[in-house]
Structure 1
């Protein structure tokens, strides 16, 4: 299982244990998911690469590649992992708990 599949598995295990418990073979499921994520990231990264311009330094080219890679990962993780996780319950800020000292 690659790092993407491992991250997806840990995220679901920690944030959606009910759904995680329904997966019959988590190793196989997340291994396949990780491979799919890797493929999507590679395709998306090539689309996000900035065009090279004459006179660019090696550092500028590498920087563009790194930004494209990070952005592709962020987008794929959001689509394939985070969007399926149920939202955390919100803490009610407008209705604080009563002070224990008040009678």
Structure 2
């Protein structure tokens, strides 16, 4: 299992344990998902890498690396995080009457 599959598996275990428990063979499921995520990241990275311009080689390497990181962020959101149940939003504490009288 690659790093993407491990990340997806740990994320689901921690944030959606009920769905994780329903997966008959988590090792195979997340190994396959990890490969799919990797393929999608590579494909999207190619689309996001800008054409070579007037930048220095080091600057261009930075642009390529940023494109790869952005692709990973997008793919993780689509293929891992969007499928998780929504976390309850933290609410601001409501002031009590005693706090208001102070």
Tell me the CA shift for residue 71 of structure 1: 0.4
Alpha-carbon distance in structure 2 between the residues aligned to 1:57 and 1:75: 27
How many matched pairs?
A: 98
**Secondary structure class of the residue paired with 1:87:** coil
Q: Deviations over 1:7-26 (max 9, x none)?
A: 00000000000000000000
Alpha-carbon distance in structure 2 between the residues aligned to 1:90 and 1:67: 30
Q: Return the structure number with greater helix share.
A: 2
For structure 2, list consecutive stretches of 5 or more residues without a partner in the other structure. Answer: none
**RMSD, matched Cα:** 1.7
Question: Which stretches of structure 1, 4 residues or more, deviate above 6 A after TM superposition?
Answer: none
Tell me the CA shift for residue 34 of structure 1: 0.3
Q: Partner of 2:44 in structure 1?
A: 44
Tell me: CA distance 1:57–1:13, structure 2 relative to 1, closer, same or farther (3 Å): same
Query: TM-score if structure 1 supplies the norm length?
Result: 0.87
Alpha-carbon distance in structure 1 between the residues aligned to 2:84 and 2:52: 38
